[in-house]
Chains A and B, each alone.
Chain A
Amino acid sequence: MDILSLFVTVPVLTILFLAFTKNLQQVRMVSLVGMLVQLGMAINLLFAYFKERAVNTDIMVFTKDYVWFESFNIHYAIGVDGISVVMILLTSIVVLAGVFISWKVADLSKEFFISLIVLATGVFGFFISIDLFTMFVFYEIAVIPMYLLIGIWGSGPKEYSAMKLTLMLMGASALLLVGILGIYFNSNADGGPLTFNILEIAQVNIPFAAQKLFFPLTFLGFAVLGALFPFHTWSPDGHASAPTAVSMLHAGVLMKLGGYGIFRVAMYLLPLGAIDWSTFFIVLSSFGVIYGALAALRQNDLKYINAYSSVSHLGMVLVALLMMNKTAWNGAILQSLSHGFMTALFFALIGMIYERTHTRDIQKLGGLLKVLPFISATYVIAGMANLGLPGFSGFVAEMNIFVGAFENADLFRRVATVVVVSAIVVTAVYILRVVGIMLMGPVKNEEFNDLPASTWFERYGVYLLLIPIAGMGIAPLWLSDMILESLTPFIARF
């Protein structure tokens, strides 16, 4: 078994083992061990990648290719570059943290962990695929468990949210499917065979008319998952109703599939279409950045605040991707990572607070710093990272985005940059507003004085996410070097 296929095999094995578990204890142990192995493999992959990169200058390394459906030229083709390696690392950390945070799930726990790991399998498979068909298969595998996860274990109007989320994301895949088929049937433009292989399609000059037609379809197909305004409405409802670990995984990892897919598929394969459409989509995503930030300002529900904050931050990723230069792209990928860790941490903390106080309304909370010191202090750290304080991951990412975006000399892109930058101010306001109301001040409710402290599994989950946030902030260079190197083939297309 090759080093990459293991990322799909191990979760599948974990699921099989889970199917035969008898009690809660076994369910927890199997999931924990499975995902620990997964994290170990991800770290191993990182080092293996460095070693391989030193001697191998291919665009993708560790590639494997097995013919699947011969007459369509569909292959199970896998391979990674620096970008996918860091995404895999992000996923394995967030999934493991999710398992820790879900330690207490008792209702249908076996089914819960199975669905969670099915979702993870889809995400891992998506990041290792370099064949559009395989990628699409994994994409859909990642989306559908959300329905059960939110619908069964969620809270509030969960049936509504689950249905809305599933239908919107599946509706988006309608666009995506047409886009992928369009790319496929144009992949013989230079006289070669039809192919789904991303690397091979990148060698082909797809006619401009086709690029112009299929870029928006592919872009939108992925962008709905990346919460592009105005297709983001599934996200706040979905997050608010989802159980903690699912919100973490969803905002932390699943939404990253959107940005990654746009970059790897829509922009890499259809660069002329991307240039042609960039103005329109920059307007939409810049608006999303501001809109998300302002909406977060007006919310009282912690999960809604964080969900709109995600809309705003992922809007930045989309803007940065469309700015078409290395610095901005580097920022976009760093922002994806940084947001992944940060928002997962936020959702984990919100889950802990909600479990103890049974409310997510910040107006009903107050003085939590006194009664829940660990959770509150971490919340402040996550908040600081979110608003881009130097020393944390958010700063590195946003700095790159703004510098890169401003490198474009034309007025429109500079104005867009300024608009997006101004969202940072709003971000600071809504973060500090929550910190002020919820954490500072006197304890609002007598009952809060006896809230239980955080448990070991909660702490492990939190540490897992804190380390990379701080790590990225303090020593970003090795990471951004690795990403920048992988951006070379992309920039060559533009």
Chain B
Amino acid sequence: MDFSSLLLMRHEFILTALLLLMIVAEIVVSEQNKKNLVNFGVLLFAIHTAVGLLPLADGVLFGGMFKTTVLTHFFKSVLNIGVLILLLQSGDWLRDKVASQQKASEFFMLIFSSLLGLYFMISAGDFLMFYIGLELSTLPVAALAAYESLKQKSSESGIKLILSAALASGTSLFGITMMYATSGSLYFDVMTITASNLTILGFLMFFAGLAFKISLAPFHFWTADVYEGAPISVASYLSVISKGAAAFVLMILLFTIFKPLESIWINLMYGVALLTMFIGNLFAIRQQNLKRFLAFSSIAQAGFILLGLLSVNQLGATTVIYFIMIYVFSNLGAFGVVQAISNQTGKENIDDYDGLYRTNPKLSLVMLLALFSLAGIPPVAGFFGKFFLFTAAASQGYYLLVFIAVVNVTISLYYYLLVVRAMFLRKSENAIPYFESKFMMKLGLTITVLGILIIGMYSPLYDYIFEISNLIFKS
């Protein structure tokens, strides 16, 4: 093995370097300049994202434990862009609230470690690497959820996340051992999954662990509580980046090594999709707190993703990746606005947004676009994402499920419109007064808006994903 082949791990190496750099910076930088650490971290990550966009060769490392293809490279770049937006949106919060507690660089370190874990999960070539990635991506987030240690809710959120995550990954690991017992290998390429009872049980337990991460019903109970207590940036990370990556990995695994169990997991996905959509949507209706609201909304969105999985071919894979990509931008838009307003005023309830359009028209419009995209209203991207997911499900003849899903879209439209109603229809004496967002927040929101507007209508992007998603089925 020559060292140039290690360049295949470019994403991972650079991110690790950034992580270490942040530690060094924390030690070297003087007390007064701690605030600049935030800018430094964001800048470093922006460079990493830009470098990450450069083309990367396909290859396998460590005897098959680590694989990189154009597809994984592409998806890592999507995650990078998502995290970059998230860091931009959190910049003000970090500078104003966190830097004074000497904790700014920790935030970056933890986010970077978790992202590194996601990279490994995506590129894993065997279950060992996969499990390491899963753990590495979850543990730092639990620390992040408890990040505002002075707030009781935040600590509660951290404890809830770490306990349930530990249980979930333990279950997953147990499932993996069962599959190892029956197939005699951990390598995805070598494993031969057959529909024996033990394998199926192993698969189910493994699935439960991933479903926890994607917050599919009935493994979703932690979601709303953790989101509510955690800082908005962390809730946003959980709901967008971590969930998106887990859904991507779930798809890859189902379409490749679990293909022999297709007849079993197709029914499972059908049922879980139904349950997740209904639970997410019906609970979202009753929420007042926007973080809880977005938590249930993101549960419902995960239910929609499963529809794409029902079509085990290039079409299904493409629609899932495409939808996740759109979801990253749409949800970050919504979380970004919530964060901007919460930073400024501390208000997080839907009622607090009454009359927002008349005082802060630009923020309201960003929120409107993001919510419409989540709801799937054309011409913004979310419509295309959902339509294609439904097309994928319909291509296999699941018309009834598609119909139920579109009914769910209508239900979701109701609660998204509740926020629109507060912002646009209501007038209020004590509406949130006008404020000017800082540069980083503006940049972060602008990127999401561009994403929401362009990704849907710009079809070459879809065609590109369609082309590369074929890679899943080769080998």
Given A69-B459, A185-B394, A185-B395: A137 in contact with B383 (beta carbons within 8 A): yes
A151 close to B395 (CB less than 8 A):
no
In contact, B383 and A181 (Cβ under 8 angstroms): no
**Segment touching A, from B292-300, B331-339, B398-406, B439-447:** B398-406
* Partner of A174 from B315, B397, B409 at Cβ < 8 Å: B409
* Complex partner residue of B378 from A137, A163, A175, CB under 8 angstroms: A137
**Does B388 have its Cβ within 8 Å of any Cβ on chain A?**
yes
Q: Which residue of A lies closest to B467 (CB)?
A: A71
Q: Verify A71–B409 contact, CB threshold 8 A.
A: no
Chain A residues, Cβ within 8 Å of B379: 137, 141
Q: Which residues 155-190 in A have Cβ within 8 Å of B in the complex?
A: 158-159, 162-163, 166-167, 170-171, 173-175, 177-178, 181-182, 184-185
- Does B391 count as interface, using CB distance less than 8 angstroms? yes
Closest CB-CB distance, A439 to chain B, in whole Å?
A: 35
B222 an interface residue at 8 Å Cβ cutoff?
no
CA distance A166 to B410 in the complex (A): 9
Residues of A within 8 A of B406 (CB): 173-174, 177-178
Q: Which residues of A contact B397 (CB under 8 A)?
A: 185
A494 CB within 8 Å of chain B: no
Is A72's CB under 8 angstroms from B390's CB?
Answer: no
CB distance from B445 to the nearest CB of A (A): 18
Distance between Cα atoms of A300 and B459 in the complex (Å) = 52
> How many angstroms from the CA of A68 to the CA of B413 in the assembled complex?
27
B466 is an interface residue with CB less than 8 A from chain A: yes
A133 — which chain B residues lie within 8 A by C-beta?
387
Could you tell me if B462 and A170 are in contact, using CB atoms closer than 8 angstroms?
Answer: no
Question: Is the beta-carbon distance between B463 and A70 smaller than 8 angstroms?
Answer: yes
Which among B315, B358, B379, B414 has the highest number of chain A CB atoms within 10 Å? B379
Q: A69 and B463 in contact (CB under 8 A), knowing A174-B406, A178-B402?
A: yes
Residue A144 interfacial (CB < 8 Å): yes
What are the residues of chain A within 8 A of B394 when measuring CB–CB? Answer: 178, 181-182, 184-185
User: Roughly how many angstroms separate A81 CA and B32 CA in the complex, as a whole number?
Assistant: 72
A59 close to B (CB within 8 Å): no
Which residues from chain B contact A152 at a C-beta distance below 8 Å?
424-425
Residue of A nearest to B396 (CB): A185
- Smallest Cβ distance from A444 to chain B, in angstroms? 34
Contact B466 A140 (CB under 8 A): no
Q: Indicate if B163 sits at the interface (CB-CB under 8 A).
A: no
Q: Are A181 and B421 in contact (CB under 8 A)?
A: no
Q: How far is the CB of A163 from chain B (nearest CB, A)?
A: 6
A interface residue count range (under 10 / 10 to 19 / 20 to 34 / 35 or more): 35 or more
User: For the complex, is B191 an interface residue (Cβ under 8 Å from A)?
Assistant: no
Q: With A70-B459, A71-B466, A185-B395 as given contacts, are A174 and B407 in contact (CB-CB < 8 Å)?
A: yes
Residues 79-130 of A contacting B (Cβ, < 8 Å)? 108
Residue of B395, B399, B402, B407 contacting most chain A CB atoms (<10 Å): B399
Q: Cα distance A151–B383 when bound, in Å?
A: 23
Cβ B414 vs Cβ A174 within 8 A? no
A381 within 8 A of B: no
Q: Which residues of A contact B399 (CB under 8 A)?
A: 178, 181-182, 213
Cβ contact within 8 Å between B388 and A151: no
C-alpha spacing A455/B463, complex, angstroms: 55
A-side contacts of B356, CB under 8 Å: none
Per the bound structure, the CA–CA distance linking A213 and B400 in Å amounts to: 12
What B residues does A177 contact at CB under 8 A? 387, 390, 402, 406
Question: A356 CB to closest chain B CB, in angstroms?
Answer: 25
Q: Which residues of B contact A181 (CB under 8 A)?
A: 390-391, 394, 399, 402
If the complex has contacts A140-B378, A159-B425, A185-B395, are A147 and B462 also in contact, measured as CB distance less than 8 A? no
Q: Which residues of B contact A428 (CB under 8 A)?
A: none
- Closest residue of chain B to A153 (Cβ to Cβ) is B425
Among residues of B, the one whose C-beta sits closest to the C-beta of A69 is: B459
**Is there a chain B Cβ closer than 8 Å to A148's Cβ?**
yes
Task: Say if the beta carbon of B139 comes within 8 Å of chain A.
Answer: no
Minimum Cβ distance to chain A for residue B210 (Å): 28
Chain A neighbourhood of B459, CB < 8 A: 68-70, 74
Complex-state Cα separation, A171 to B409, whole angstroms: 8
- Picked from B377, B388, B410, B466, the residue with its CB within 8 Å of the CB of A167 is B410
Query: Cα distance A124–B406 when bound, in Å?
Result: 25
For the complex, what is the distance from the CA of A72 to the CA of B319, rounded to whole Å? 11
A170-B425 contact in complex given A140-B383, A182-B394, C-beta closer than 8 Å:
no
Q: Note all chain A residues with C-beta closer than 8 A to B421.
A: 151, 159, 163
Contact with B along A45-87 (1 / 0, CB 8 A): 0000000000000000000000011111010000000000000
Residue of A137, A144, A178 ringed by the most chain B CB atoms within 10 A: A178
Which chain A residues numbered 128 to 144 have a C-beta less than 8 Å away from chain B? 133, 136-137, 140-141, 144
Q: How far is the CA of A74 from the CA of B406 in the complex (A)?
A: 20
4 extra interchain contacts, Cβ-Cβ under 8 A, other than A69-B463, A137-B383?
Answer: A170-B410, A177-B402, A178-B403, A184-B391
Interface residues of A (CB under 8 A from B): 68-72, 74, 108, 133, 136-137, 140-141, 144, 147-148, 151-152, 158-159, 162-163, 166-167, 170-171, 173-175, 177-178, 181-182, 184-185, 213
The 3 closest A-B pairs by CB, nearest first: A174-B406, A181-B394, A151-B425
Q: B residues within 8 Å of A by Cβ?
A: 315, 318, 358, 372, 377-379, 383, 387-388, 390-391, 394-395, 397, 399, 402-403, 406-407, 409-410, 413-414, 417, 420-421, 424-425, 459, 462-463, 466
Listed by A's residue number, 10 A-B pairs whose Cβ atoms lie within 8 Å are A68-B459, A71-B318, A71-B462, A71-B466, A141-B378, A141-B379, A144-B372, A144-B377, A148-B425, A163-B417
